[in-house]
Structure 1
Amino acid sequence: MSQEKDPFPGRLIDCPGFLNLAAGRLIGTIAMQIQAVVVAWHLYALTNDPLALGYVGLVQFIPMAVFTLPAGDLADRFDRRLLLTLAWLIQGCAAIILLMLTLFHTDLLWPFYAALALFGVGRAFAGPSMQSLLPLVVPKKLLPQGIAWNSSAFQVAVIAGPALGGFVYLLGAGFAFGLCSMMFCIGALSIYFIKPQFRQQKGPSGTSALERLKEGVSYVRHRPIVLGALSLDLFAVLLGGATALLPIYAKDILHVGPGGLGALRSAMAVGAFVVGILLGYLSIRRHAGLIMFASVAVFGLATVVFALSTSFVLSLLALFVIGASDMVSVYVRASLIQMATPDAMRGRVSAVNMLFIGASNELGEFESGTTAAWFGVVPAAILGGVGTIMIVGLWMRWFPALRKVDRLSDVTS
Structure 2
Amino acid sequence: MRLGVSEKQATSPEPTSPLAIGDFRRYWLARFFAVFATMSMVVLIGYQAYDIARTDYGYTRSEGAFLLGLLGLAQFIPLLLLTPVAGWAADRFDRRTVAALANLTDCTVAGLLAFMTWSDTLTLPGVFTLAAMHGAARVFVGPAMSAVAPNIVPPRLLPRAIAMSSIAWQVASVIGPAAGGFVFAESNWLPHVISAGLLICSAILIRSIRPIRAEQDATPLHPVRQMIEGAQFTWRQKFLLGCITLDLFAVLLGGATAMLPVFARDILMVGPEGLGIMRGAPAIGASAVALWMAWKPLEHNVGPKMLWAVVVFGAATIVFGLSRNFALSLAMLTLLGAADMISVFVRSSLVQLNTPDRMRGRVSSISGLAISASNELGEMQSGLAAAFFGAAGAVVFGGVGAIVVTAIWAVIFPQLRQAKTFEPEFLPDTTGASPTRKEALT
C-alpha distance in structure 1 between counterparts of 2:103 and 2:241, whole Å: 29
Partner of 2:49: 43
Listed as ranges, the matches of 1:220-369 within 5 Å are: 220-369=234-383
C-alpha distance in structure 2 between counterparts of 1:175 and 1:286, whole Å: 46
> Which structure's CA Rg is the greater one?
2
Aligned length: 410
Q: 2:182 aligns with which of 145, 167, 184?
A: 167
C-alpha distance in structure 2 between counterparts of 1:408 and 1:207, whole Å: 30
Alignment RMSD (CA, Å): 1.8
Q: 1:9 aligns with which of 6, 15, 27?
A: 15
Q: 1:135 aligns with which of 138, 150, 153?
A: 150
C-alpha distance in structure 2 between counterparts of 1:314 and 1:376, whole Å: 20
Partner of 1:75: 90
C-alpha distance in structure 2 between counterparts of 1:328 and 1:64, whole Å: 24
C-alpha distance in structure 2 between counterparts of 1:332 and 1:317, whole Å: 24
User: CA deviation digits over 1:240-278, x for unaligned, max 9?
Assistant: 110010011111111111111111111111000011000
Q: Does the alignment pair 1:24 with 2:30?
A: yes
Q: 1:187 aligns with which of 184, 202, 216?
A: 202
Q: 1:214 aligns with which of 228, 251, 267?
A: 228
Q: Does the alignment pair 1:33 with 2:39?
A: yes
C-alpha distance in structure 2 between counterparts of 1:373 and 1:77, whole Å: 44
C-alpha distance in structure 2 between counterparts of 1:187 and 1:124, whole Å: 16
Q: CA deviation at 1:69?
A: 1.5
Q: 1:394 aligns with which of 383, 408, 415?
A: 408
Q: Where do 5+ consecutive residues of structure 1 fail to align?
A: none
C-alpha distance in structure 2 between counterparts of 1:358 and 1:229, whole Å: 15
Alignment check: 8 A CA contact 2:248 2:373 kept: no
Partner of 1:151: 166
Q: CA deviation at 1:204?
A: 6.5
Identity percentage of aligned residues: 40
- Secondary structure (helix, strand or coil) at the match of 1:195 reads coil
Q: CA deviation at 1:71?
A: 0.6
User: CA deviation digits over 1:59-108, x for unaligned, max 9?
Assistant: 11010111122110111111111100111101001111112221331253
Listed as ranges, the matches of 1:99-110 within 5 Å are: 99-110=114-125
Q: Does the alignment pair 1:58 with 2:73?
A: yes
- Secondary structure (helix, strand or coil) at the match of 1:357 reads helix
Q: CA deviation at 1:216?
A: 0.6
Q: CA deviation at 1:410?
A: 5.1
C-alpha distance in structure 1 between counterparts of 2:172 and 2:111, whole Å: 20
- Secondary structure (helix, strand or coil) at the match of 2:306 reads helix
C-alpha distance in structure 1 between counterparts of 2:396 and 2:318, whole Å: 5
Q: Which TM-score applies when normalising by structure 1?
A: 0.95
Alignment check: 8 A CA contact 1:288 1:405 kept: yes
- Corresponding letter in the other structure for 1:338: Q
In structure 2, relative to structure 1, the CA distance for the partners of 1:205 and 1:238 (3 Å cut) is farther
C-alpha distance in structure 2 between counterparts of 1:284 and 1:47, whole Å: 45
C-alpha distance in structure 1 between counterparts of 2:422 and 2:288, whole Å: 21
- Corresponding letter in the other structure for 2:238: P
Comparing 80-89 and 34-43, the one that deviates more = 34-43
C-alpha distance in structure 2 between counterparts of 1:199 and 1:14, whole Å: 22
Partner of 2:431: none
Alignment check: 8 A CA contact 1:29 1:154 kept: yes
- Secondary structure (helix, strand or coil) at the match of 1:41 reads helix
In structure 2, relative to structure 1, the CA distance for the partners of 1:398 and 1:39 (3 Å cut) is same
C-alpha distance in structure 2 between counterparts of 1:204 and 1:378, whole Å: 54
- Corresponding letter in the other structure for 1:9: P
- Corresponding letter in the other structure for 2:119: F
In structure 2, relative to structure 1, the CA distance for the partners of 1:313 and 1:204 (3 Å cut) is farther
Q: Which TM-score applies when normalising by structure 2?
A: 0.89
